[in-house]
Amino acid sequence: MTFKDLSLIEPILKAVSDQNYSQPTPIQEKAIPLVLAEKDVLACAQTGTGKTAAFAIPIIQNTQARVLPNAKPRVTSLILTPTRELAIQIGENITAYSKYTQVRHTVIFGGVKQQKQVEKLRRGVDILVATPGRLLDLIDQGFIKLGGIQSFVLDEADRMLDMGFINDIKRVIRLLPTKRQSLFFSATLPPNIVELSKQISSE
């Protein structure tokens, strides 16, 4: 199987080729068609298996289909991840995969001044990559609204719970539309992760 077999649009195939990706990894092969079809996904995938591409590539494609000419972008996809380093890494991947599309994204995380992040949000973005603390902080300040979210990704879900983010996650979930796509990526699937995924998917 090649990426061409996954019903990806030409701009994304070109970007994938630029990355010297030839064949999708098993997680990409399974997840990309489901995400493109806007299904909910609970996936177990270790770091290094290409899981970021498994959700980022189809989200970019679905977002590109929603882009309106001359309209200011608004956040329709939220990717929540536990650490600044992961957020930056996901943002770099999205930059690579979306470079031939009109999709705009930004990354927000704590530990730095918020001004530059707020400026990017004000200009408008389609995909937002965030750590929980900074996301909730900017929501409280009125800079981010989650009412337009169509796809929600919880990345590194097991690490999220290990780091004590469960209450933050539940607060974010309550701010999302009930009708949305929920994608759950975790290196392990202990019972608490499975239970949380059921809660999130049924919200």
Provide the β-strand partners of residue 186: 44
Instruction: Say whether pLDDT at 202 is over 60.
Output: no
Cβ partners under 8 Å of residue 21, min gap 6? 3, 53
Of all residues in the chain, what percent carry a pLDDT higher than 90? 79
Q: What is the pTM of this model?
A: 0.95
CB 101 within 8 Å of CB 59: no
Overall average pLDDT of the 91-111 stretch: 97
Instruction: Say whether pLDDT at 30 is over 90.
Output: yes
Handedness of CA 34, 36, 40, 41 (dihedral sign): positive
Amino acid 94: pLDDT: 98
Instruction: Say whether pLDDT at 109 is over 60.
Output: yes
Return d(Cα 16, Cα 21) in angstroms, integer.
6
> Which tens digit of pLDDT belongs to each residue from 5-14?
999 999 999 9
Least confident interval from 80-94, 97-111, 161-175: 161-175
Return d(Cα 97, Cα 19) in angstroms, integer.
8
Provide the β-strand partners of residue 77: 127, 151
Q: Nearest-CA neighbor of 131 among 150, 117, 151, 141?
A: 117
Which residue shows structure tokens 């929603």? 66
Return d(Cα 194, Cα 49) in angstroms, integer.
21
Least confident interval from 92-106, 129-143, 166-180: 166-180
Of all residues in the chain, what percent carry a pLDDT higher than 70? 99
**Per-residue three-class SS string for 74-127:** CCCEEEECCCHHHHHHHHHHHHHHCCCCCCCEEEECCCCCCHHHHHHHHHCCCE
* DSSP secondary structure letters along 38-63: T--EEEE--TTSSHHHHHHHHHHHHH
